[in-house]
């Protein structure tokens, strides 16, 4: 008897176009590679075109389609220009908002510039990218928006009031978009990674890493590929009845 069970990552709706911000390294790069492996054409967006070219070459080497585009998430004009170029490639069906920065410091000493830059990049930039893709998704009556939040958005973290606020804002934004777009067949979800072994966390002192490790029930740090697997699922047809959800990928460090 022929099996009718489908692989969760065998997406029948391949050949769609996915736009990934912050795709030059870490989680964004892993998401781009994973979505390309699912059969999607990926548009890679970040400030560093050289690193984007490296990601694009990695994808093309395995037969995938990848188009690198420069984008500055603090600049509405840059975002607008990037999406104008992206729409020459085709309609954006999938948006993964991953681009993020940190400028850590205690709240009472934090400079207004450090607050504003993090909020602009991590939250306002994500909102603007969503605005650019929604008209096409609504017309098609199909779309996936996945925002990369963080475990600190749910648990808080001292010394990161700007980053925490931006990532918590992404969760609220996700839920609002999910409510607004559900009737048009567009889903919006968030993924909240825990401690993931990336360039951003590599700079932490060993004693800090060890303390964090002790708080993770699975007793290991996550990988960018762990997060990419969650994103890939939420972008698939199998996740068509999931919207407004926050998927934790944190090894159990926050439940």
Model confidence over 30-55: pLDDT tens digits? 999 999 999 999 999 999 999 999 99
In a domain, 233, yes or no: yes
CATH number of the domain bearing residue 26: 3.40.50.720
In a domain, 140, yes or no: yes
In a domain, 158, yes or no: yes
In a domain, 203, yes or no: yes
Instruction: Report the b/e string of 151-162 with b at 16+ CB within 10 A.
Output: bbbbeeeeebbb
- The answer to whether 41 and 65 have CB atoms below 8 angstroms apart is yes
Model confidence over 148-207: pLDDT tens digits? 999 999 999 999 999 999 999 999 999 999 999 999 999 999 999 999 998 777 888 899
Domain that holds residue 130: 17-247
In a domain, 254, yes or no: no
In a domain, 62, yes or no: yes
Model confidence over 115-164: pLDDT tens digits? 999 999 999 999 999 999 999 999 999 999 999 999 999 999 999 999 99
Burial label, 53 (beta-carbon count in 10 A; 0-12, 13-18, 19+): middle
Distance, in Å, from the CA atom of 149 to the CA atom of 167, rounded to the nearest integer, reads: 5
In a domain, 210, yes or no: yes
Parallel, antiparallel or unpaired: strands 66-70 and 94-97: unpaired
If you search the block for the tokens 């990532």, which residue do you land on? 167
Q: Please, what is the end-to-end C-alpha distance for the chain in angstroms?
A: 41
Q: Based on the structure, what is the number of domains in the chain? A: 1
- The answer to whether 50 and 70 have CB atoms below 8 angstroms apart is no
Residues annotated as catalytic (active site), given as ranges:
163
- pTM > 0.85: yes or no: yes
């Amino acid at each position: 008897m022929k099996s009718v069970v489908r692989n969760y990552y065998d997406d029948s709706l391949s050949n769609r176009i996915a736009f990934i911000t912050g795709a030059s390294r870490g989680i964004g790069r892993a998401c781009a590679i994973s979505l390309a492996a699912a059969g999607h054409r990926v548009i890679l967006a970040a400030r560093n075109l050289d690193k984007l070219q490296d990601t694009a070459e990695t994808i093309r080497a395995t037969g995938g389609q990848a188009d690198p585009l420069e984008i500055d998430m603090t600049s509405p004009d840059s975002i607008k220009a990037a999406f104008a170029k992206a729409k020459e490639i085709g309609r954006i069906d999938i948006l993964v908002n991953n681009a993020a920065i940190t400028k850590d410091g205690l709240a009472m000493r934090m400079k207004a510039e450090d607050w504003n830059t993090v909020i602009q990049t991590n939250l306002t930039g994500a909102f603007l990218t969503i605005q650019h893709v929604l008209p096409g998704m609504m017309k098609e009556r199909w779309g996936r928006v996945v925002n990369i939040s963080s475990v600190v958005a749910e648990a808080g973290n001292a010394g990161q009031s700007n980053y925490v606020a931006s990532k918590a804002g992404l969760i609220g934004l996700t839920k609002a978009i999910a409510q607004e777009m559900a009737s048009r067949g567009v889903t919006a979800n968030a993924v909240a990674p825990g401690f993931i072994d990336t360039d951003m966390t590599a700079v932490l002192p060993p004693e800090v890493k060890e303390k964090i490790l002790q708080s993770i029930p699975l007793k290991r740090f996550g990988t960018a590929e762990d997060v990419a697997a969650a994103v890939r699922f939420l972008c698939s047809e199998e996740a068509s009845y999931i919207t407004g959800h926050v998927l934790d990928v944190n090894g159990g460090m926050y439940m």
